[in-house]
A = this chain, B = another copy of it.
Amino acid sequence: MRVAIVGAGMTPFGAHPGLSVKELFADALADMAKTVDRGWNPERVEAVYIGSLSAGQGMQLGNFAPALMEYAGLPPVMGLHVENACASGGFALLQAVLAVASGQVSCALAAGVEKMRDVSGEQGRYWLGISGDTEYERLAGLTFAGVFGLMAARLIDAGELTRDDLARVAVKNHRHGALNPKAMFRKAVALEEVVASPAVAAPLGGLDCCPTTDGAAAVLVARADQADEFTDLPVSVAGFGAATDTLAVHSRPDMTRLTAAGRAAGAAYKMAGVGPESLHLAEVHDCFTVAELIAYRELGLAATVREGAQQLAAGAYELGGRLPVNPSGGLKAKGHPIGATGVAQAVELFHQLRGTAESAERQVAGAELGLAYNMGGSGASATAFVLRKGGRAQ
């Protein structure tokens, strides 16, 4: 069964001290409802998948899916909470797509929600830290910033990257985020500011790191042959894939590779029958600037990390460039509410491929094929989706 995205929405990302996770979820649904041109009818939903890291013990909310569904007025259908660290949202969407692809469900909702600002400081670091290796990394004091700092240092040492290359990712994504009304950081930053930002894990400074924050996102998935019952402007799920890897970076043959990303994207390209050269835009998991540079290589956008950095410096990945990467601002500027991130990537692609981005400045002109790549931990899990403009003709 072919699958289409027929609605998508999200809350603004950023601090939401007055909203609970239930309210954020309902707000994302309300934003999604605006895109369901033929009228949003919750009773059409037959399965619900909600990605979240802090649900359960963290939020003191078990049975997380039915709890949120009840609050938001969804019917009491199959509902499930899924967790794969920072890739929880991507995996929620993947399950919704599989459920519809199975033919057992004709309409499924994928959502992600997180309130990371309620767990600031020590506890927040702890919450995230458990998604990496415990024995050799977390308990030894190696944070995620530390892991990606080591990757960046190694790539600089090997002559693949320079400090400025890292900073250029932040500059680009802040420029994009400044145009996105849903982004947390809506201001440009200069290359010198990024380079001069206080070290978090050298060579990564504060402006090389994405902010974990609050937010929710929701995507409505349906049988492609019923897409026009929901909207005149659907988007096809042309391909998808997922993969895992070792939790500890030291267990991998090369600590600067994120091979789960490449395997997930490879499966998605293969199913879609396209290669990376056919893409018009991509949303990629840039938890740290170096992660986006590594992603250029893993996703096949560039042959090497060096080549990707050169293309970035040449403007290829800017809005208006050959292949805009993270037109939303990415995790870096849009913000990273853990479980919501993978779903929000699909929200961005949905609008870009329909031509409904909020402004002409933000819209990728003529976008017909997009990639979304979401990662969990230090790359221990990953999802990828190739989405195509139009619903029926795939």
Q: Is the interface of A mostly helix, strand, loop or mixed?
A: mixed
Residues on the B chain within 8 Å of A29, using CB: none
The 9 closest A-B pairs by CB, nearest first: A62-B131, A57-B57, A78-B242, A66-B244, A101-B102, A102-B102, A62-B130, A63-B85, A66-B380
> Would you give the shortest CB distance from A117 to chain B, in whole angstroms?
17
Of all chain B residues, the one with the shortest Cβ separation from A383 is B78
A61 vs B83: C-alpha distance in the bound complex, in angstroms?
Answer: 11
Task: Known contacts A78-B243, A95-B80, A104-B101; decide if A130 and B85 are in contact (CB<8 Å).
Answer: no
A to B CB contacts below 8 Å, 21 in the list: A55-B83, A60-B134, A62-B130, A62-B132, A63-B247, A63-B377, A65-B244, A66-B84, A66-B380, A66-B381, A67-B247, A70-B244, A76-B259, A76-B260, A77-B243, A78-B241, A80-B91, A80-B95, A81-B82, A82-B82, A98-B99
**Residue from B56, B70, B243 within 8 A of A57 (CB atoms):** B56
Contact A247 B95 (CB under 8 A): no
A245 within 8 A of B: yes
A42 within 8 A of B: no
Q: What is A's interface to B at a CB cutoff of 8 Å?
A: 1, 47, 53-58, 60-67, 69-70, 76-85, 91, 94-95, 98-99, 101-105, 127-128, 130-132, 134, 241-247, 251, 259-260, 263, 271, 376-377, 380-381
> Would you give the shortest CB distance from A252 to chain B, in whole angstroms?
10
Of all chain B residues, the one with the shortest Cβ separation from A3 is B102
Contact A81 B83 (CB under 8 A): yes
A67 vs B67: C-alpha distance in the bound complex, in angstroms?
Answer: 27
> Would you give the shortest CB distance from A298 to chain B, in whole angstroms?
14
> Would you give the shortest CB distance from A386 to chain B, in whole angstroms?
14
Task: Known contacts A53-B56, A63-B376, A380-B66; decide if A102 and B98 are in contact (CB<8 Å).
Answer: yes
Contact A76 B127 (CB under 8 A): no
A243 vs B377: C-alpha distance in the bound complex, in angstroms?
Answer: 31
